[in-house]
Amino acid sequence: MSSWGLKNRLARIIKPQTGRTVMLAVDHGYFLGPTSGLEKPGETIEPLVQFADCLMLTRGVLRSSVDTAVDVPIVLRVSGGTSILKELSNEGRFTAIEDAIRLNASGLALSIFVGAEGERETLLNLAALVDEGEKYGIPVLAVTAVGKEMARDTRYLGLCCRIAAELGVHLVKTYYCENFEKIVNSCPVPVVIAGGKKVPEMEALQLAFNAVRDGASGVDMGRNIFQSEAPVAMIQAVRSVVHERATPEQAYDLYESLKNGS
Ligand code: R5P
């Protein structure tokens, strides 16, 4: 079976020019409901999308809130089925591969919860999704989460990333932590980082800088962009770190000048 399509889709997500990506994550509503900054997803996405290498979102928001003429690769979240009111790790699949194909997805994203109640089911769901992705030439991104009582450190995040890679994914999303290079070095597929909770802009730019310095292939960032005081300025500042190797200070200067319109 030819893997041309899969590689081509992956190259739409991770830009071959730099080997990196700025993914804009706007999928939070699938378990959080109307997250701050994403109450009207279409209004949030519209000014940002031109600066995103791809969008990570659910089919519901894609269909309702993204213009079909927008030329941006889509990484479609296909796992969920739980809310913040319940045990989050009990996720299942909520989008069939046929619908992902109809939606012209360039990638599929599914969460795994290592060390949590839903570990076995989410890992087997991931493996099944990889089989389907391979069949139709669509790469799979594993969104890694660890049990509530586990530290987000190299031991547990590294375990999670490596397991995802062993099950066959093409890309892993995890959190940045101390000694992050250990995670990258023990994971044979590209790793991107989530931004996490909103922090001051300089801190978020430092996080992105540290991650790519330590071997990440980019970011899959949401709240630190769309909850920023100036989201359009912030995504461009993040891009400068990821694609142009700007320092956090240079990127922050860019953020400030774009924010102030100078
Ligand atoms: C988390 O479950 C979602 O998949 C988000 O896409 C992910 O956490 C990245 O968003 P943020 O940068 O806001 O953490």
DSSP letter for each residue of 180-199: HHHHHHT-SS-EEEE--S--
Instruction: Report how far residue 211's alpha carbon sits from residue 215's, in angstroms, rounded to the nearest whole number.
Output: 6
Nearest CA to ligand 1 atom 10: 222
Contact 150, 182 (CB under 8 A): no
Whole-structure pTM value = 0.96
Contact 112, 79 (CB under 8 A): no
pLDDT of residue 262: 72
Place of tokens 């992902």: 100
Segment 68-76 mean pLDDT:
97
pLDDT of residue 149: 83
Kindly give the distance from the C-alpha atom of residue 196 to the centroid of ligand 1, in angstroms, as a whole number.
6
pLDDT of residue 42: 98
Give per-residue pLDDT as tens, 74-111: 999 999 999 999 999 999 999 999 999 999 999 999 99
CATH for 4-227?
3.20.20.70
Nearest CA to ligand 1 atom 9: 194
Share of the chain above pLDDT 70, in %: 99
Q: Which of 24, 26, 27, 224 to mutate to test the pocket of ligand 1 (most atoms within 8 A of CB)?
A: 27
Ligand 1 atom closest to Cα of 77? 4
Q: List all residues 6 or more positions away from 27 whose beta carbon is below 8 Å from its beta carbon.
A: 56, 57, 58, 61, 77, 109, 222
Phi, psi of 227 (to 5 degrees): -100, 5
Kindly give the distance from the C-alpha atom of residue 1 to the centroid of ligand 1, in angstroms, as a whole number.
33
Asked whether residue 4 carries a pLDDT value surpassing 60, the answer given is yes
Asked whether residue 1 carries a pLDDT value surpassing 60, the answer given is no
Confidence of residue 241 (pLDDT cuts 50, 70, 90): very high
Give per-residue pLDDT as tens, 189-234: 999 999 999 999 999 999 999 999 999 999 999 999 999 999 999 9
Contact 207, 234 (CB under 8 A): no
Nearest CA to ligand 1 atom 14: 196
Catalytic residue selected from 173, 197, 198, 259: 173
Nearest CA to ligand 1 atom 6: 25
Ligand 1 atom closest to Cα of 26? 6
Kindly give the distance from the C-alpha atom of residue 144 to the centroid of ligand 1, in angstroms, as a whole number.
10
What is the pLDDT of the chain when averaged over all its residues? Answer: 96
Q: Which of 28, 91, 203, 226 to mutate to test the pocket of ligand 1 (most atoms within 8 A of CB)?
A: 28
pLDDT of residue 147: 81
Ligand 1 atom closest to Cα of 220? 9
Kindly give the distance from the C-alpha atom of residue 128 to the centroid of ligand 1, in angstroms, as a whole number.
23
pLDDT of residue 148: 81
Active site residue 173: yes
Segment 31-46 mean pLDDT:
97
Lookup: tokens for 137:
């030439």
Kindly give the distance from the C-alpha atom of residue 149 to the centroid of ligand 1, in angstroms, as a whole number.
19
Asked whether residue 2 carries a pLDDT value surpassing 80, the answer given is no
Ligand 1 atom closest to Cα of 221? 12
Identify the three-state secondary structure at position 132.
Answer: helix
Task: Please give all residues whose beta carbon lies within 6 A of any atom in ligand 1, as ranges.
Answer: 25, 27-28, 56, 143, 194-196, 220-224
